[in-house]
Amino acid sequence: MPGWCWTTGNIHRSLHIRRALPKLARHGVHLFFLPPYSPELNDIEPVFGVIKGHEMPERSYSTLDELLAAVRRALRRYHLRVRRR
């Protein structure tokens, strides 16, 4: 049974989403609302921790393009490191 998880953000509780819930459920999609901060329930959090702590030690970028390039390099390095295991 597929499922979606997300935070308690206002957009996720919008009338549009609430109206779609019955149809989504008929298709096997069930929504689970997480507590405001719950990294233990989000499988990607450990990856982000490694990337932020080791792959992207610099925290300041002059432009959005520089930031995006740094993120791409960090994700690539992480991916290569995981593949070597």
**CA–CA–CA angle 61, 73, 5 (5° rounding):** 90
pLDDT digits (tens, 9 = 90+) for 38-62: 777 777 888 888 888 888 888 889 9
- CA-CA distance, 79 to 48, in Å (whole number)? 12
pLDDT digits (tens, 9 = 90+) for 6-28: 656 666 678 888 898 899 889 88
Helices and strands (DSSP H and E) totals, the chain: 3, 2
Q: Same domain, yes or no, for 30 and 56? A: no
State which residues form the domain around 24. 3-37
Q: Same domain, yes or no, for 31 and 50? A: no
Q: Same domain, yes or no, for 23 and 7? A: yes
Q: Same domain, yes or no, for 52 and 69? A: yes
Q: What is this structure's pTM?
A: 0.52
Q: Same domain, yes or no, for 49 and 79? A: yes
Question: What is the number of structural domains in the chain?
Answer: 2
Q: Same domain, yes or no, for 25 and 54? A: no
